[in-house]
Chains A and B, each alone.
Chain A
Amino acid sequence: MRYTQTLRMLNGLKWLAIVFAAFYALVVIIAASNGFLGHIPHGDKKFEIPLPALFALAAFVTCIFCSSYGRTLSSENEDHLPVVWTRPKSRLQTTLTIVGVDSLGMLAAFAMYLLLTAVFITTFQVWHYVTVPSDALAQFGRYIVQPFAFYALVMALTASTGCAGRGLVGWFWVGAIFLGILAASPFIPNPWHAIFNYVNFLNPLAYGSYHTTSGTETINVMGGPTPTYVAGLAPVMDAAALLILFAAGLTLGLIQWRRLEA
């Protein structure tokens, strides 16, 4: 399974690289045609690019990327089980191999997005605007774990399905975004607001928000001025909560996979 999954993952990364390259080319062409290449006009306002904001965006893009890889078990259930289950490996070993390869792929996707960002920053010569807050490392920990939690929950949701898993992933995105909106909305009365807030602990996308204020500038990434830390304490706690979601998702996915019949 390692070989098959590696091929799948490399194919996914190839397409991600193509999309990034196309996006970069488009932005550069538009910027160049407007005379912005080499600098970005920002008036008199203090301009800042906090490093964790870039991590937050990288995590979000990686979540999109791993939407399909989270349903690998489900895609094996689209008629491939007689191949997967007649190898001299247990289902547990097979699953762990898949998760291992996917993990490397997710890290690669995260790194590729950061690389794209670095290329943009270099192209537009805005390195001096990048700031590194004191909690940048902890924030990095949170954002690097977020796609893993997302991946595992997709796996838990789809492991026992076949083709239907594709639709479920779409609905998972809709549900996760909608739940985040409900939890953030100040117009929802209690106890509903409290309930949505609690359920939102299970929503991996909710852990992706980044919000910081510096002088007159407010940076909102992935969720706006709602709680920056879902677990409410620190990025480390959020990372711990995401790790729990990751472990729980994998366990649920594996239980279903082991009960499945071809």
Chain B
Amino acid sequence: MMMNEGTPAISIDRLTKRYGQTLAVESLSLSVPQGTIFGLLGTNGAGKTTTFKCMLGLARPSEGSVSFEGRPLTPPLFERLAYVPEKCALYEWMTGAQLLEMQRRSFSRYDDKRANELMDLFALDRKKKLGKFSKGQQTAMALVLAFSIHPEILVLDEPAAGLDPVHQRHVLDLIIGESAGGATVVFSSHQIGQVERAAERVAIMHQGTLRLAGEVEQLKSDLKVVEATFDTDAPSLNGLSAEPSVGQIQRAGRLVRVYVKGNGDEIARKIGDMHPRSVRILDQNLEDIFLTTVGSSGSAMAADVAGASGR
């Protein structure tokens, strides 16, 4: 089935999920454009897995809704959608070959040639029972099943967890390859470097709420680090914290880093007046952005940026 151009592949509208008194996800709204790679970042317990579960009907949202290509999720959509959960959910008593057969019988899009190529790529033994696989191999098996059906939408929760660096790279290549073929990929990972390498857009969740969302390049250009080195211990920069563009200030001996929104020129000039040995303006990488976003002092700034760069 072809999608309408411009219709988001996935739309999450004010999604809230409560487990008893615990608020796992609060009023989350996100939009994932078709054919993009979307990274969902967050600390443990941020609500990423709950969000995935609500998206896929594995958990009922307390409030809000999720739609795929403008329509609610129905079982036939799973013909074109693959999900790899954080924790391996496959049957440990089945062999690799039996799991492939299970997939073949469940999905008309199943591609046996592709599945076998992936089994070889991850060096998985078809005759071995899943219970005898290592954790990383179990994750790889789940990935083989997911990619073997040529999904149009891929939802991957920590897809590289437990994999060695070589296979992590394979996963990244597969994600990028699927996206290049037109698939929409949503994935979460604690490996921020991988997300930065693959994702075109990211969302950062913290304590169940969305803190930041937008295109990776845009976020990186909107947020800078002004780094200064002094001959002696760095002076107090309390005066700068009142600046609206300043998020977090880190001091470590003679080094000081100020995380700022915007180009950072004004802040660099003010620090320059304090006669540092050097001062320079650096781009923030995704890890910097993530850490500033989930850090309490950076939240306000991140929220501002989310307002500017988000959906």
Q: Give chain A's interface residues, CB within 8 Å of chain B.
A: 1-4, 7, 11, 79-83, 85-90, 93, 261-262
Contact = CB atoms under 8 A, between A and B. Distances in A.
B58 interface: yes
B59 A88 contact: no
15 contacts: A7-B98, A80-B90, A80-B91, A82-B85, A82-B89, A83-B90, A86-B78, A87-B75, A87-B107, A88-B106, A88-B107, A93-B75, A261-B60, A262-B53, A262-B59
Given A4-B91, A86-B81, 9 more contacts: A3-B106, A81-B58, A81-B89, A82-B85, A85-B57, A86-B83, A87-B107, A88-B75, A89-B75
Contacts of B81: 86
A134 to B, nearest CB: 47
Contacts of B106: 1, 3, 87-89
A88 B87 contact: no
Nearest to B60: A261
B58 to A, nearest CB: 4
B294 interface: no
B102 interface: yes
Given A3-B101, A4-B91, A82 B83 contact: yes
Interface in B233-256: none
A86 B107 contact: no
A87 B89 contact: no
Instruction: Count chain A CB atoms within 10 A of each CB in B53, B88, B89, B94 and give the residue with the most.
Output: B89
B105 interface: yes
B78 A4 contact: no
Nearest to B157: A82
A221 B91 CA distance: 39
- Main secondary structure, interface of A, reads loop
B66 to A, nearest CB: 14
B77 interface: yes
Nearest to B79: A88
Nearest to B145: A83
A79 B102 contact: no
B6 interface: no
B60 A86 contact: no
B64 to A, nearest CB: 16
Chain B interface residue number, banded:
20 to 34
A261 B79 CA distance: 21
Contact of A261 (B53, B93, B105): B53
Q: Top 5 closest A-B pairs, CB basis?
A: A262-B58, A82-B89, A82-B85, A88-B79, A88-B78
Contact of A88 (B76, B85, B90, B98): B76
B83 A261 contact: no
Nearest to A91: B75
B224 to A, nearest CB: 41
B219 interface: no
Given A82-B83, A86-B81, A90-B75, A3 B102 contact: yes
B56 interface: yes
Interface string B162-174: 0000000000000
A205 to B, nearest CB: 29
Interface in B95-124: 98, 101-102, 105-107
A4 B60 CA distance: 26
A79 B98 contact: no
Contacts of B59: 261-262
A7 B98 CA distance: 9
Contacts of B75: 87-90, 93
A1 B94 CA distance: 13
Contacts of B101: 3
Contact of A82 (B58, B91, B94): B58
A3 B57 CA distance: 23
A4 B53 CA distance: 23
Contacts of A81: 58, 89
Contacts of A261: 53, 58-60
Contacts of B98: 7
A10 to B, nearest CB: 12
Nearest to A1: B106
A86 B56 contact: yes
Contacts of A79: 87-89
A3 B91 CA distance: 12
B106 to A, nearest CB: 5
A27 B282 CA distance: 84
A83 B60 contact: no
Contacts of B85: 82
Contacts of A90: 75
A4 B102 contact: yes
Contacts of B94: 4, 7
A7 to B, nearest CB: 7
Contacts of A3: 101-102, 105-106
A2 B53 contact: no
